[in-house]
């Protein structure tokens, strides 16, 4: 059974904000950020249990090049991305979404 990826609107907004920030610094860096996220999303879909649980059923995947964490849960045949979160931010912020 293959799973589908669902990115919550809050996470999409975080991705867009990060893209804009990186793109303002160095043209093309925002696109590299999105490619990095695409790679981690594909890895999550292939094997979500590979990533550790960090809060009840919430799992966390770390991006390689950028200091971002992807918080997600499995919900039946879907993987729901709750947050694409900068690692230096207060972790209580993403926990409010559960």
Paired strand residues for 86: 68
Q: Is residue 76 exposed (0-12), middle (13-18) or buried (19+ Cβ within 10 Å)? A: exposed
For 25-38, what is each residue's pLDDT tens digit?
999 999 999 999 99
Domains, the chain, ordered by start? 4-95 (3.30.2310.20)
Q: Which residue has the tokens 């770390």?
A: 62
CA distance 74 to 59: 9
Paired strand residues for 57: none
Tens place of pLDDT for every residue, the chain, 98 residues? 578 999 999 999 999 999 999 999 999 999 999 999 999 999 999 999 999 999 889 999 999 999 999 999 998 899 999 999 988 866 665 555 55
Token code pair at residue 14:
């975080």
Mean pLDDT of the chain: 90
């Amino acid at each position: 059974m293959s799973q589908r990826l669902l990115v919550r609107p809050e996470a999409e907004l975080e991705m867009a904000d990060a893209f804009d920030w990186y793109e303002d610094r160095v043209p093309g860096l925002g696109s590299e950020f999105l490619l990095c996220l695409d790679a981690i999303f594909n890895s999550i879909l292939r094997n979500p249990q590979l990533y550790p649980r960090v809060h009840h059923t919430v799992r966390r995947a770390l991006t390689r090049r950028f200091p971002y964490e992807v918080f997600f849960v499995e919900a039946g045949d879907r993987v729901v991305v709750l947050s694409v979160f900068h690692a230096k931010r207060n972790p209580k912020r993403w926990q409010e979404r559960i």
